Amino acid sequence: MPRPIHAVIHQQALQHNLQVARSCAHQSQVFAVVKADAYGHGIERVYPALKSADGFAFLDLTEGKRLRALGCDKRLLLLEGIFGLEDLFDCAKYGISFAIHAQHQLEWLKTFVQLQPDVQFDVFLKMNSGMNRLGFVPEQYPVAFQELKSIEQVCSISHMTHFSDADGMRLGQEGIEHQQLVFTETIQNLPGKTSLSNSAAILRHHQHIQSDIVRSGIMLYGSSPDYPAHTIDHWNLKPTMSLRSELIAIQ
Ligand SMILES: *Cc1c(COP(=O)(O)O)cnc(C)c1O
């Protein structure tokens, strides 16, 4: 007998939470973020409930392959992009889009398309609009965009950024308004779809942020991104996992 401990994943709650993301971001495509094995829930376990999402986003190529193995034909996005040139073989084979956040990734792409000229990629160009984690700073961004655009095998470029403080109260230089302004100004004359919001931005700022694609993560799994300021009841989210066990003794 294994120990009588079970983590039960609630399909209806996952579906409900996806619906909450959809209703907040009703003008956007909703990508379900399933990084870290669906935030610990298991990609295979959550997929049946989340399969109606417009796409899936993750950090590890194997997570994309697992989605394809489940029969997923939606758009897939590697959020941090590739970790080496050879990853592009899999991106091409499995139809996985990827972020480009740094020059070395651009160089890998240029080398790859010389080896395999028959490929096509949808690329998400990442801007560091203030989070200071990944991405091209605004001064470099248009240059990177033009470089990407000149690669024949790149069939679309979407503009992507990530907020540092969508769950907080900071305004001005550090808040999301500032990042949004930097982003909008930088892409002003550049064509392409946009992807900005994570869970906190979807829930808290959906009236002010236009994003063609939103990337909902933690909210799907029934966790409030700005707890304790707001609970899941406030955001109408439902818990998606219950831990159950049995009493084995009473003393
Ligand atoms: C994790 C992640 C998300 C989702 O963030 P949540 O706060 O969990 O909704 C979105 N975009 C990127 C780039 C991420 O790494």
| Average pLDDT for the chain | 95
**Closest CA relative to residue 197, chosen from 211, 182, 178:** 211
Rounded distance from Cα 171 to ligand 1 centre (Å): 21
Q: Do the domain assignments include residue 174? A: yes
Q: Do the domain assignments include residue 228? A: yes
- How far is CA 25 from each of CA 8, 101, 167, 205, rounded to the nearest angstrom? 28, 25, 17, 10
Q: Do the domain assignments include residue 111? A: yes
Q: Do the domain assignments include residue 188? A: yes
Ligand 1 atom closest to Cα of 99?
Answer: 13
What confidence score (pLDDT) does residue 174 get?
61
pTM of the model: 0.95
Q: Is the pLDDT of residue 169 over 70?
A: no
What confidence score (pLDDT) does residue 175 get?
72
d(CA 208, CA 139): 25
Residue type, 189: N
- Rounded average pLDDT over 131-151: 97
CB within 6 Å of ligand 1 — which residues?
33, 35, 79, 162, 198-200, 215-218, 225
- Rounded average pLDDT over 74-93: 98
Number of separate domains in the chain: 1
Q: Is the pLDDT of residue 172 over 70?
A: no
Ligand 1 atom closest to Cα of 59?
Answer: 15
Rounded distance from Cα 215 to ligand 1 centre (Å): 6
Which CATH number belongs to the domain containing residue 166 in this structure? 3.20.20.10
Lowest mean pLDDT among 9-13, 111-115, 161-165: 161-165
- Rounded average pLDDT over 69-78: 98
Q: Do the domain assignments include residue 1? A: no
- Structural domain that includes position 149: 6-244
Strands 241-244 and 6-9 turn out to be antiparallel
Instruction: Between 219 and 164, name the one with better pLDDT.
Output: 219
Report whether 222 contacts 238 (CB < 8 A): yes
Report whether 94 contacts 64 (CB < 8 A): yes
- Rounded average pLDDT over 107-123: 98
Q: Do the domain assignments include residue 249? A: no
Q: Is the pLDDT of residue 177 over 80?
A: yes
- Rounded average pLDDT over 156-179: 82
Q: Do the domain assignments include residue 250? A: no
Ligand 1 atom closest to Cα of 79?
Answer: 13
Rounded distance from Cα 22 to ligand 1 centre (Å): 16
Q: Do the domain assignments include residue 79? A: yes
What confidence score (pLDDT) does residue 163 get?
92
What confidence score (pLDDT) does residue 165 get?
80
- Rounded average pLDDT over 131-159: 97
Reduce the DSSP state of residue 4 to 3 states and report it.
coil
Q: Which two tokens stand for residue 222?
A: 């029934």
Rounded distance from Cα 242 to ligand 1 centre (Å): 23
What confidence score (pLDDT) does residue 167 get?
78
Q: How confident is the model at residue 1 (pLDDT cuts 50, 70, 90)?
A: confident
- Rounded average pLDDT over 79-97: 98
- How far is CA 189 from each of CA 17, 36, 163, 184, 250, rounded to the nearest angstrom? 35, 36, 22, 10, 69
What confidence score (pLDDT) does residue 170 get?
62
